[in-house]
C-alpha cells in the first residue's frame, strides 16, 4: 500500500492529517467501502481513497509502533552519549525528538 500525506506535518502526525492511499486488489474481490477503482487488468485493480489519518485502519497501532521506535532511538542516543562521556548527538535534534515522544505519550 502506498500512503501519501496530502495535508499535515509529517513530523507531527495528527488524526486530522489527510492521507491518500493506493493499493491493488485481486479482480473479483469486492471493493471496500470508501475506496474507488482507478485502473486494472485481468488480474488486479488499482484502488484508491483519501481519508483522515484517524479513519485509517490500524492508526492507533501505527502510532504505538512509532512511539516505541522513537523511545528506542532516544534510549540509544542516551546510551551513546553516556558511553562517550560527552554529548555526541545534536542537543537540539535530541530535544525535538523528546518533544515528539512527549506529544505521543500525552495523546496530542
Model confidence pLDDT, tens digit, residues 14-35: 888 999 999 899 988 898 888 9
Adjacent-strand bridge partners of 47: 23, 37
Q: Cα–Cα distances in Å, from 30 out to 25, 37, 47?
A: 9, 11, 11
Calculate mean pLDDT across residues 88-104: 88
Are 59 and 15 in contact, with CB atoms under 8 Å apart?
yes
pLDDT at 58: 56
Amino acid at each position: 500500500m502506498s500512503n501519501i500525506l496530502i495535508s499535515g506535518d509529517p513530523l507531527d502526525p495528527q488524526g486530522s492529517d489527510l492521507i491518500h492511499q493506493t493499493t491493488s486488489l485481486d479482480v473479483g474481490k469486492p471493493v471496500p467501502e470508501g475506496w474507488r477503482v482507478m485502473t486494472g487488468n485481468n488480474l488486479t485493480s488499482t484502488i484508491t481513497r483519501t481519508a483522515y489519518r484517524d479513519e485509517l485502519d490500524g492508526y492507533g497501532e501505527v502510532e504505538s509502533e512509532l512511539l516505541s521506535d522513537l523511545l528506542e532511538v532516544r534510549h540509544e542516543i542516551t546510551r551513546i552519549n553516556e558511553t562517550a562521556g560527552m554529548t555526541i548527538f545534536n542537543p537540539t535534534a535530541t530535544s525535538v525528538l523528546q518533544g515528539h515522544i512527549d506529544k505521543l505519550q500525552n495523546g496530542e
